[in-house]
Structure 1
Amino acid sequence: MPPRAPASPDEIQMSTVFDALKRKGRWLVPLSVVLGGLTFVVLMMMAPRYQSEAELAIVAKGASSTFSDPRSASSGPDLVTTRMDKEAINTHVRALQSSDLMLQIANDLKLAERPEFNSALGPVDQLDAVLRMIGIGGPRSGESERDRVMSALRSRLEVYTAKESRFIGIRMTSIDAELASKIANAMAENYRASLAEQGVTEIDDLQTVLKAKIDKLGAEVATAETEIDRYRGKIDGFRGGAQNTGLNEQQMSDLTAELSRAKAARGEADARAASAREMMKAGTADALADVQKSPLIQNLVQQRVRIERQISELSATLLPAHPRMRQLNADLAGLKLQIDSEISKIVSSLEKEAKVAQGRESSIAQSLADIKNRVVTNAPEEAQLRQLEANAKAKRTELENLQAQLEANRKKLDARAQPVEAQIISKAQAESVPIFPKKFQLSALVAFASLMFGTAWIVMGALFHGVPPQGYRKLNASDRRRSEPPLLREEPLISEMPETEPETEPEPALATAPAHAAIAGTTSEPAAKEASFAAFNDGEMEELAGRLKGRRSVGGGFRTLITGESDDIVPYAEATELVKALAKSGVQPILVDWSPSGEGFARDAGLDMNAGFNDLLTGHAGFEDIIQRLPGTTAHVVASGRAVSEDERELDIDRLNLVLDALDEAYDHIVVVGRHDEARRLFEGIEGRFDAGITVASSLRKAAEPEDRDGTFLGFEVAEIDVIRYERREAVAPALMQRLARVTQNQAAAARQA
């Protein structure tokens, strides 16, 4: 069948847009020109505005350069290093806009006598005059002259600061270029003078008070430190070392560390002595590390080994009573006694080392105990000493703070100025070119903007009226895996096969193909682009399940549609066996009974028919209501549910794809089983979005020509779908009985209709 082509918003006829532009564009260009001309006339009636700018820098007093860092301490001893942070600069910006400073500027330059700042004196330009004629502009009722001047000055004055700098800009706009520069320069000069005139008025009195406090506190500090030295000598509480700690504390620390080392040495010596004694009793003392390190013992052991080797060699030719043999045995016994004696000496030395280590530990512990007793005895005196030291330290800190404050005030008094000042970086100059209005530029911009806006209006109107009424389907998130048919060629996923006349001699049934035909494809095209074809016989269900499991990609579900070669062949038993085989192979399958008429296998299998797949598609049930466990297996099954009425038989493709995609996320393998005609409608409706298709044929119902050949399934050409033919073997007698039963049923139905 041809692929479905839903309507798209891109299907817009551009000829409609061009026709609209030709039809309505005749008045668009003249209108744009007229609007541009009107703009030019309005701008010609406006008085030109000139702008001047002065720049200040807030720096520390005495800085050698405007661009130096006020936080640097290398500029000289008399430099007041005040940090100019963002908040401090913003404070100066606000101070430059204060009403007192602006009022002083207005009075000095007599701005109240100019119509630009005092609207009560008349219009400023022709546009202002026209606006006053129609009732717009002019002085507001009840507004004083001071308020009018201050409001006009604020609207034309701009004070700003550059980011990450100490510069402040003063920008003034006026219809008089000279006046603009005068106002900006006067603002900078007056603010700079106001900062410079702020003297330090209370420094002298403060210095007198500080000197008296310093003299008194200096005497107290000297007395306290003398008392500390005298008391320390009395209680023998001298201090020393890098940490200035007391002698008792230093000795306790040293003895504690020494005691820890002595305990470790004694423990090691005890362990070595105990191990030596145990090995001596067991007769394995020669394995001791100290024994093996002794050169004498090693030499004796080598002599013993040599004599033992000689005894072993001579025992083959001499009897034990032979003089040579007796001499060697006597030498061997003497060596063993000498070795044992040396080992006993080493063990005794280890025991002596353990006793020495124990004595050293006891001595150190006793010394530490004596020092502790001394510290406990002198505890009250030490507490008194610490109190005297704390009192002297507090007085010393207070004295140092007062001295630092006295020195800072002395520097201020010598400088006779505030810590910061404003330096004029550049003065404002009278500009000869106005910044507003730009007559030609603004007029051309208005004409171009009106042309663009009119063009957009016409195009949008044409688009809204020219969109075709068809709707289009937007892909949802569930279509991510199967939003497009799995094509590797330009032709559609499935296309309906033309009707062909059966030949007089039917071709051999594909069911006779060997089982290994599933491995080798029968198509002439490469296997990656064409659908594969295989055949299986009854009893080969395990091999069929293994083939399907092997073709499943990692991380995605696998869909299989199983149906009969004709509507008379019901593949329910084969579908059940396939799902059981898949479950045994280790995957999680689910069997879906596809039967819109409600006559599937679920009722005969003993499944719950209250809710099923049909109810899910029609919105009468959810997944938790329809999924059941297939008896005797770990696989799940979904019954067909109630029969769907004729009005509901039309498939909702979007909902069906959504349900199948949800099952893909939850299960490894989906097996959909249905009768031939119903399965064909399902396959056609979802455009062949299956990974495998299985056709069940009967050995007793040989078709003149199979409907599914190479690259086809259910009469459609398919791509990238594993097409499998499964032939069941049936006995003759049951088949004849079924045919007779069908004939009898047909006759009974015809009789009832008559």
Structure 2
Amino acid sequence: MKSDQIAHGDVDVDLGQLFAGVRRKWPRILFAALVITGLVFAVTYTVTPQYRAQTRLLIETRESVYTRPQGVNDGDRPILDGEGVASQVELITSTEILTSVAEKYNLANRGEFAGGGGSFLSGLLVMAGLKSAPVEGTQEEKVLRAFRERLTVYRVENSRVIVIEFSSEDPKLAAEIPNAVADAYVAMQSEAKFQSNTSATQWLEPEIEDLRERVKEAEARVAEYRAQSDLLLGQNNTVLATQQLAELSSELSRTRANRSAATAQAESVRSALQSGAAVETLPEVMASPLIQRLRERQVELNAQIADLSTTLLGNHPRIRALRSQLADLDTQIRSEANKVLAGFEAEAATAQRREEELTAELNRLKAASAIAEEEQVELRALEREAAAQRELLESYLTRYREAASRSDRNYLPADVRIFSRAITPSEPYFPKIMPITVAAFVASLLIMAIITLLQELFSGCAMRPTAGVAAPVPATARMPRAEPLVDVGVPISGVGTSVPARKMVSAPIPEPEEQRELAPVARFGEINIEQASERLVTGGATRALFISPEGDEAAAASVLVARDVGDSGLRVLLLDLTASGAASLPMLESTAYAGITNLLASEAQFADVIHNDLFSECHIIPVGTADPQRAMRAADRLPIIMESLSAAYDVVIVECGPTDAQAIRRLLSSDTEVLVSMIDPEEGELVLEMLDELRDSGVDAPILVSPVGYSMPPAPPGRDAA
């Protein structure tokens, strides 16, 4: 294609030319950088040097273990958190401390403080509009304003360390001021503790006197109530009635046990006597000494009878005498058992009477104990009140003595320690002439180089045509472009705008002179449908213009190629610009669809005119139903529409019908393939004329395509050329 067919914007940045311009203008860049660096050096050299020093404080509890108030442990000591330390930072910068330090060093008579902080750098910032001018006020306000501008107080992160920094023209003053501020802060802390201690002692004195009176009254009420209620206390500080009730309950239990035991023993002896059993075997009877002696005598008589029975007969007088004595002993034992029974019965009766007496006394003591307990509750309440008042009085007395002794001895350590005092700095912190000068030189070089690059870029000297495209034509020879009707960045009919990079590939065909020398059969059918689609898939072209010199019936080639490319996986769209809609008819089976004429006439949007092919993945924009004359009046929009479609699709195929080379000029771009369709070999001369015309118009390599074995449906009547 010729250079006059290159689309607008097909240029690229020539980096060689761009940096060559920088090399050409290098002396000017260096001169400007040196001038700027000299100005910066002069300014920094004339700026008054500033010195900075810092003092460090540590917030901690300084109470020792020997002087700590009684009852206060290490864990009870207050430790400031982050918010507490931040509050101390604000306290250090308070007006009271700064005013006292300013008066101590007579800062109002120093030049750097008299103007309220009007340093040279501040003046430059005010002139540049980067800083507001100082507000007029009293001399004290100006001094404090300048003081605060030079003072920096901050907390070291994740610690209870506070740093006080101060900058001044005088290095000695730069070290003295932060030390003085730290001393004033420590003195303020000590004074605050002293005032707190004094306020505590002043408050405790009347409170202690009042508590003494209340303790005396409470103890008097306890004694009076005890006397009125006749609450006598026994052992273990217990009411006497309650103690007696407990003792009587124990005695009643013992009496009941004794009665039960005596009754059981009497019943056992009575049962033995009534049944005629040997009573001497009963433990209760055997406990009697007399029965024990009678039992021993009985054993002796039985022994004698047994001894004599070995030599004498049973009727012997001596044996009979011994048996008579033995019978008397049995009578005596039973008689003694009756006496034992009578004793048990008497003991049981006595225990019964004692139990009745104890029960009556117990009931009386229960009533008395209930009354005593009620009175004891009231007494305990009075005693608790008196004890609470007494404990509070003792606590207040202890605190008062401690506070009074601390005030008398003036031992009130502040909870802050200065662990690093400021020393006189030997070198200023601002300005650093050499670093600033070097930085200014490097920055000015960089800025001037960037300015030069931009000048070269915007002047067009560093621009060159895109690779594979002829030199750009003059602006007067280029085709005017209309404003876009659609945003090419918006997807069309659901298709994205990402288009892969492609390179143009063109296969040369024989020159026209060589073609004319060949036989007609050899000149036609340069490539078939499959070869044409493969060329579009692998060649990198984003547009393919099909021209059918034989008429709209030859549009079959574009339809077949579009379907074949669509089936390969690429996003492809066929734009039908034929007069009869012959390209869209086999894809939509009707011409009553909105199409390119509706889009040009502003009667439809892209989403309304893009349709799906019924037999492939290809999309189709038909001719449309709008008035062709009205649509052609907006033909200048066609290049914009083509650019939008090329951004949304991988390949855009345009069927132009039997048009001429001049009519397709506005559709050409740097990556466009021009293909000529041929069906009837008898029309070879017509095709050759079209090829020659295309070459004369700047199309370097038009391609001849023949759709062998395909016939188009008849074109509907009444359609004008698009």
TM-score category of the 2 structures, normalised to the smaller one: 0.3 to 0.5
Larger-gyration structure (1/2): 2
Larger helix percent: 2
* TM-score normalised by the chain length of structure 2: 0.48
